[in-house]
Structure 1
Amino acid sequence: MKVLVTGFEPFNREKINPSYEVVKALPSKIENAEIVKKKIPVVYGDSIETVIEGIKTVSPNIVIMLGQAGGRSCITVERVAINVNDSTAPDNLKNVLKGEPVVKGGPVGYFSTLPIYRIVKGLTRAKIPADISNTAGTFVCNSLFYGVMHYIFENELDIMAGFIHVPYLPIQTLKKPHLPSMSFEEITKGVKKAIMVSVKEYRLKYV
């Protein structure tokens, strides 16, 4: 059994991105499932293609995409991806997209197929702040989430997949003390727990 876990490169003048820092720290196996790690560019389109290439190469059972959500105070498990790219902020190739679909002619949205309620329950039981989020935004995180779910559904793949946002690390808020953060150790523990819950759920459903 394989779990593809992805995290983004830094963006918006940040030197680090907690999503990929956590991915790098994950063990090679969780619940006897192989953990495959991948770094994703903060670029519309390229991010989707990078994960799709990973899916083709790895043939994972589960795909968990991680991203940074500056300003959020807990780990947030995303419920839905929507078919729109819309942001005033540029991606890392300076693309600014306003009201453009992620996939032309694609459905309005896709729901995560991760066990989002069980993940949040597992994290809160472990005393890690977590919640379900009903918006992944309209920047590259949502674009990636939507594009990957579209690929999975269009190709009728038995892959459980979804997106999880993590807060800033404390070092990122030194000059932004008004913004919340979470320790690297706590975020890593939370992501490991999310993977554990997802692996167990996958085995119940598909194995």
Structure 2
Amino acid sequence: MINAIIFDFGNIFIDLEKAAVEKAFRDLGLTEWHADLDELNKRFEVGKATELEFIKGFQKHLPNASIEDIREAWNAVLGDFPLKRLEFLQSLKGKYRMFLLTNTDMIHIDRFEHKEGMSITRDFYNCFEKVYYSYEMGIRKPNVEVFKFILHKHELSPKRTLFIDDRKENTDAAASLGIQVWNLQVGEEEVTDLFAKKIISL
């Protein structure tokens, strides 16, 4: 029986608007997404690039964009944080050991906390035994070492742990360690379907 759940954040609790961020950068003059920006993003997500280094990397391609322009465009990806998902999460508190594990950066987390406000974000974080951000851990999914660390740190049994993520490469990595997984299909499934879809039983 499942006694622990590890949740992703983006597209599980907060909606991600990839078209919006692409449009925001096009509006700033970015004609294509360069390979160095992908590498820069990965470095930023594991804390190996500072916020200023990250923004200056974009300014190489967008010399007329200000720091705030780039920060705003980058945050355009952050969509709604539906209250029903928070309420569902709160209904699980005390029934399961719960953890948040997300590939993210300080710009996105800062915006999320400011946009939703102290009360909502506190209620959200209080649902988890521990929150893990890739930029603080220095490692990102789908590296299996992320999952090994959490299993060992919290003495979790893989077969009694469920990992929920919208990206298959991440759930595949977790499954390779014997962790139970749900590769949630965005637009077709909701985290609130957890019991209705019999991912785990009540």
Structure number with the higher helix fraction is 2
- Normalising by structure 2, we get a TM-score of 0.32
- Normalising by structure 1, we get a TM-score of 0.31
Structure number with the higher strand fraction is 1
Structure possessing the higher radius of gyration over alpha carbons: 2
